[in-house]
Structure formats: C-alpha cells, structure tokens
Amino acid sequence: MIELNTVKGKFYIRPYKRGDEHKIIKLFYEVFGQKKSMDLWKWEFLKNPYGRQIMLCEHESGQIISQCAGLVVPIFFDGKIHLGAQLVDCMNKKKYRAFAVKKKGLFALTVQTFFDEFTGKDKTIYLFGFPGDRHYRLGKIWLGYKKIRPIDEIKINNIQKNFRSYFFSIDRLNKQDLENKENIIYKLALKDAALVKFSVFRESKYLIWRYIESPREYKIYCLKNIFGKIKCVFVVSEDGNVINLIDIIGLNFLKQAIIYLSSMYRGKTVRLWLPESCPFGMEFKNFSSPSSIPVIPVGRSFWEGLNWDWANKNFFYTMGDCDLF
C-alpha cells in the first residue's frame, strides 16, 4: 500500500480487498452513467480462475477515487502459456481529476502502481483492450495504449447461396461436456495457437468461466465430422436478427462452422470479428463492414521477451476478447 499525504487529506493506493465492490460499482455509475450488476462484477473478478487484478486509490474518508483493473486471461506465446489481461473499468472520480500529487494525478499514480504490481516477466506480459474513441485518446496518455490490427467485422446472410455445404453435425455443450472434453479442446487450442502465434488460450477452463458461468447468455456448440470427431468448438449469442459468432476454437473449420450456424439460424445475419487481413476470414471479405465498429483495438507489452510492435501486429482476437459481449 502507498500512503499519500496531501492538502486534501490522505490517499491510499492499494489492491482490492473484500467489500470494495460496492464502492467500485458506485464509482462506475458515477463515471460512466451506467449500472453494473453485482453478479456481473463478481463473475468478472471474483470468479475468474486466472486471478484478480484491481488497483484502487482510496481517500481517508473511505471513498474510492480511482481504479485500474484487468480481466486476467491465459495468453499463448512462443510455445508457452503466460498471463495477459484485458483492461476494463479504468476510471477516476471527476472531483479529483485535476488534483495532482508530486506533479502526478491520482489516476496516473494508480495506473503506475497497477503496472508495478501486476505486470512484467512471470506476471502479466500483455495488456489489451477495446476502448471507444474518447477513452482511446485518454488511454494513450495514461495507459500507454498503442493501436493493434483493426477489426474486420463480417456480416453474412444467405450463406448457402455462396458456399457449398459440408457433412458435419452439431452438438450443444454444457459445463460437464467441456470438463469431459478438456483434453480434446486443449489440443484444438494448441493447434490454433500454433496457427496464430499470439492469442488468448481458449482452453476448457477459460470457456467455462468466460461463457458458461457468465451472467450473460451464450450457447456453446461443437462441430463433429461423420466419424464423430470434434473439429471445432464455437460460442454464439443472439441479438435480435443477428447471431454473434463470439468465439471459436478450431480455426481451420471456421467456414464449416459458419455454414452450419447460418443453417441453424436461417434468415438471420451471422456476425463475427477477426483481426484485419486475418487469413481465416479472407473468404468472407466481401461481407466486411468495418465502419460500424465503435471500438479501437489496443495493446501494450510489459516484458522484453515480447516485442511490443510484433505483439500489436500479431495479436489474434475475437468478439470474446472484448467485454462488450
């Protein structure tokens, strides 16, 4: 814990402790004008099997002034699984935005303490996020954001008219299925990791936390060939006439997954995100509509073993890596 003595009283920069969530949610509403449910907050941070990263600045009165937080995820790089984090809910109480201690604002000090505590070799090696334009501009200053590959948003209608069908079948998966098929999904995730070289590692434990245990509603399916062998696992959510392909493990079978998804939800638009120029989405380039995307992909490396420029050019992501979905 860091103690700061100022003309406005004492401030303490420290990690989260049990019970802070009520004040954090209150600050979230004050800063963003939106309510976050306690169930959503607890799922994001307390139920995350990969850990919790929250740094707070608290006034001696008990008010939470600033927060820098990350959703911890497994990151695959150079043949190994490391830790990464998606930066979320970075915020500062309006009343104290212009207040500085030793020429640094309280939020800047909170962010730096977050970096010192949670990032580096054998800790979190990469931070990423998907801020809107305003928060991107602020993040460049306070969080060191750099842009990564832009998003290709792909929207597909009537795919049966554009692609041949394949002989596969689809099963829906629940938590027990994911646990029972842990080794199969692990091998699929390893194949994807070898293909894209740098990404979130989508193992069963991750899928269970990210989708099964989430307060939001997702459906997880597996695509099997005629011999019953699982070729890919994919996650969807429904949004009116749009079916979001949130995530996929088994990228070589992305096209087949989309064909069957389009067939299952006949008449609805299938939407997915892929990094710009990603080879897995090249067949669907004619369906791309990037102008409708309200967020900017960003990243930052915190380990000399992970070149920052290389990381930003090669980070593979899906809708599932953004907390909007």
In the chain, what percentage of residues exceed pLDDT 90? 65
Residue 84 — very low, low, confident or very high, per pLDDT cuts 50/70/90? very high
Taking CA atoms, 122 is separated from 36, 304, 319, in Å, by 32, 12, 27
- 299 strand-pairing partners: 128, 146
HSE value, Cβ hemisphere, 13 Å, CA-based, for 266:
3
Architecture of domain 2-147: 3-Layer(aba) Sandwich (3.40)
Is 143's pLDDT higher than 90? no
Is 11's pLDDT higher than 60? yes
Q: Please tell me the least confidently modeled range out of 20-29, 49-58, 129-138.
A: 129-138
How far is residue 137 CA from its own chain's centroid?
19
Tokens standing for residue 199: 């990404």
Q: How far apart are CA 24 and CA 66, in angstroms?
A: 9
Q: Domain coordinates of the chain in residue numbers?
A: 2-147, 151-295
What is the pTM for the complete model shown? 0.91
Q: In whole numbers, what is the pLDDT of the chain averaged over residues?
A: 89
Query: How does pLDDT run across 288-299, given as a tens digit for each residue?
Result: 555 567 889 999
In the chain, what percentage of residues exceed pLDDT 70? 94
Q: What is the pLDDT of residue 153?
A: 87
- 132 strand-pairing partners: none
DSSP state of 203: -
Phi-psi region of 51 (alpha: psi -120 to 50; beta: other; left: phi over 0): left
Average pLDDT value for residue range 19-44: 95
SS3 202: coil
Average pLDDT value for residue range 144-173: 78
- Has domain 151-295 been given CATH number 1.20.1090.10? no
SS3 138: helix
Is 12's pLDDT higher than 90? yes
